[in-house]
Structure 1
Amino acid sequence: MAYTPELIAELEILTLFNLSNTTEGIKVHHNAAASAVAAAQRLYDKGLTDQPDGGYLTSLGLDAAEHAQSLLTILTPAKA
């Protein structure tokens, strides 16, 4: 299974959520990049967020965001 541009856009949206404050959501405005708007809609369709333009993470979305952010941390090279 390969990472498609659509999956990468969804991962990018998931990394925007503040995991230390689950009462803080995000808003993807209608004038954002079309890929971001579409990714936010797909996350909603998959049950990961409670609004098609972002909103708050569902419990499944919180799990996904934790994994996405952990993966990003692991794969990001440490600064020397």
Structure 2
Amino acid sequence: MSYTPELVAELEILALFNLDNKQEGLKIHHTAAPQAIAATQRLFDKALITQADGGYLTSLGLQAADHAQSLLTILTTKAAEAA
């Protein structure tokens, strides 16, 4: 399995959530990039967020966002340390 552009777009949406404040949601407006709108819909279809246009993370979504953000931190930290 590899990262498809669709999965990357979903990871990018998950990375936008503020994990320090679980009461803070997201709203992806209809003027957003089509990839972001589609990714948000897919996250809703997978029951990771509460609304098709964003909303809040579900308990599964919270786990996914935590993993996505941790991976992003690991990858960007390692890249910065290697440079």
Q: TM-score, normalised by structure 2?
A: 0.93
How many equivalent residue pairs? 80
Percent of aligned pairs with the same residue? Answer: 73
- Give the residue type in structure 2 aligned to 1:10: E
**Structure 2 stretches of 5 or more lacking a match?**
none
More helix by share: 2
User: 1:11 maps to what in 2?
Assistant: 11
Match for residue 39 of structure 1?
39
Matched, 1:53 2:53: yes
Stretches of structure 1 that go unaligned for 5 or more consecutive residues are none
Q: Partner residue of 1:70?
A: 70
Structure 1 residue 78, shift from structure 2 partner: 2.8
Which protein has the larger Cα radius of gyration, Structure 1 or Structure 2? 2
For residues 30-69 of structure 1, what are the alpha-carbon distances to aligned partners after superposition, in whole Å with 9 as ceiling and x for unaligned? 0100000000000000000000001000000000000000
TM-score normalised by L of structure 1: 0.96
CA RMSD of aligned residues (A): 1.0
In the TM superposition, structure 1's runs of 4+ consecutive aligned residues that sit over 6 Å from their partners are none
